[in-house]
Amino acid sequence: MQEKVLLIGDNKSFMVNAITKDLTEIFYEVTLVAPAVAFLKGLSFRPDIYLVYLDNVNDFSEVLFYLDTQVLSSDIKVCLIGEKMQIEKAYQSIPEERVEASFLRPVNIKQLGERLDYLIEHGNISGEARRILVVDDDGMMLKAIKSWLENRYRVTIVNSGMSAIKFLATNQVDLILLDYEMPVTTGPQVFEMLRSDPDTKDIPIMFLTVKSDKESVMKVLELKPDNYLLKTMPPKELVAQIDAFFEQRKRDKMI
């Protein structure tokens, strides 16, 4: 079955049409639509990838805002193609940590195809997979943790405590990985808000922290999270601890 790519761009653009042709030749099913929210809302199918070809970024702001909400609610995968300044401006409408990949123009179709293959392969997670929400103000850390976990779990990332609260108002998750040291609304403040809300009080929460000294660890544990994970631990160890957590919960339910 051909993978479906929705290419969002100007259908009169030579480069947009060239990319459509090139992706089709490497066995992608490409649908080209204009940068308008109405077209995205009217889709009769679910694309594997939303690929945005940035031309006049100002014309794309509404579409990018819409895609940002969809990333949070539907786990869609968004990629950008554009010049460096265009991509940086696009991040004002859709945060960088919620963009799967960005490609500088002129784009190398072979590299583009290989990256899309990887994103699709690692995005085919069963709908029954556990869902994890990662909350951290560090965009690079968010993307790293997502890349470590997305082979096993359905992962959503947000960059602030209030974004997490907003997401959880309409979505369910099986685990929250919450950065302890965040500006504005700190990890402990978010933790207390979640624990005081009947709708979120039972969601397991693990703190993410860079501090491993005894005093800092005891301060974290005083809040009684389900665990705390050091950001400096090897990725395999972090994943193993999360796997073990879910395995233990599974065994507990069987007792």
The CATH number of the structural domain formed by 3-121 is 3.40.50.2300
Q: How far is CA 36 from CA 7, 65, 152, in A?
A: 12, 11, 34
Beta-carbon contacts of residue 146 (< 8 Å; ≥ 6 apart) = 134, 155, 157
- Residue-level pLDDT at 240: 93
d(CA 134, CA 111): 29
pLDDT < 50: residue spans in the chain: none
Fold of domain 131-254: Rossmann fold (3.40.50)
User: So where are the chain's domains?
Assistant: 3-121, 131-254
- Tell me which long-range contacts 91-99 makes (C-beta under 8 A, separation of at least 24): 92/61, 93/60, 93/61, 93/64, 93/65, 93/68, 94/64, 94/65, 94/67, 94/68, 95/68, 95/139, 95/159, 96/139, 97/139, 97/140, 97/142, 97/143, 97/157, 97/159, 98/68, 98/71, 98/72, 98/157
- Residue-level pLDDT at 48: 86
- Residue-level pLDDT at 255: 62
- Residue-level pLDDT at 124: 60
- Residue-level pLDDT at 1: 61
Convert the pLDDT of each residue in 175-200 to its tens digit: 999 998 888 888 889 999 999 999 99
| Dihedral sign for Cα atoms in the order 236, 238, 242, 248 | positive
Cα–Cα nearest to 179, from 246, 133, 218, 237: 133
- Residue-level pLDDT at 128: 63
Cis status, amide bond into 183, omega within 30 of 0: no
Beta-carbon contacts of residue 233 (< 8 Å; ≥ 6 apart) = none
Q: Establish whether domains 3-121 and 131-254 are of one fold.
A: yes
- Residue-level pLDDT at 123: 66
